[in-house]
Amino acid sequence: MNLTSNPHHALTPSAWIARHAHLVPAGARVLDLACGYGRHALYFAARGASVTAVDRDATALETLAGKTGIDPRLEDLEGQPWPFAGERFDAIVVNHYLHRPLFPHLRAALADDGALLYETFALGNEAYGRPSNPAFLLRRDELLELAAASSPPWTVVAFEQGRIELGDRPAVVQRLAAVGAARAWPPAL
């Protein structure tokens, strides 16, 4: 399989994640949720982070075995209890994945001054292909609601929603870069 022909398997990080990577300091403890082949885990590990890369696809995770700064973890985030109860991360990265029951766990797992970088598909994407099931598509402003529901609310550094070109097709996405309320103000842009 050519990993670069499909954006889900490409090893180049998402432009959104790379644009806001400065919110994640070197040495940070990063959770890459539903990491797939680990393009963001590799990116942040190369920037000096300690990355826990989680996915339910054992084949994809095998590509991360032995990589410096990456702890690949085989976990079923939807069928098993949250595997990081009581743990805190300096950053959480989510790209092309949505399972709403995890939202409270993300809020609890993000350090008070941590960064959340989230990008996934939104309603309207069904017009262009997969995913098309509303269970896997964010509602309008849903990531803003996630940030606002944190206690205290996270500071939104950047937010976008709308149609983009994703590889060779249009897609509708929603993107959020937010930091915990304890982050020094103002955050660097």
Strands (E), 77-154: 89-95, 110-121
How do residues 45-89 score in pLDDT, each as one tens digit?
999 999 999 999 999 999 999 999 999 999 999 999 999 999 999
How do residues 152-189 score in pLDDT, each as one tens digit?
999 999 999 999 998 889 999 999 999 999 998 777 77
* Entry pTM: 0.92
Question: What would you report as the CA-atom Rg of the chain, rounded to the nearest whole angstrom?
Answer: 16
Amino acid 185: pLDDT: 77
Taken in order of first residue, the domains within the chain and their CATH numbers are 15-179 (3.40.50.150)
Amino acid 2: pLDDT: 31
Q: Residue 112: is its pLDDT beyond 70? A: yes
* Arithmetic mean of pLDDT over the chain: 92
> What's the whole-number mean pLDDT along residues 130-139?
93
**Dist CA 181 CA 179 (whole Å):** 6
> What's the whole-number mean pLDDT along residues 131-152?
94
**Dist CA 133 CA 148 (whole Å):** 25
Amino acid 9: pLDDT: 55
74-109 b/e (C-beta count within 10 Å ≥ 16 → b): ebebeeeebebeeeebbbbbbbbbbeeebbebbbeb
Q: Residue 1: is its pLDDT beyond 60? A: no
Residue of higher predicted confidence among 184 and 17: 17
CA dihedral 51, 55, 57, 59 (to 10 degrees): 0
Contact 72, 97 (CB under 8 A): no
Q: Is 167 left (phi over 0), alpha (psi -120 to 50) or beta?
A: left
Amino acid 7: pLDDT: 47
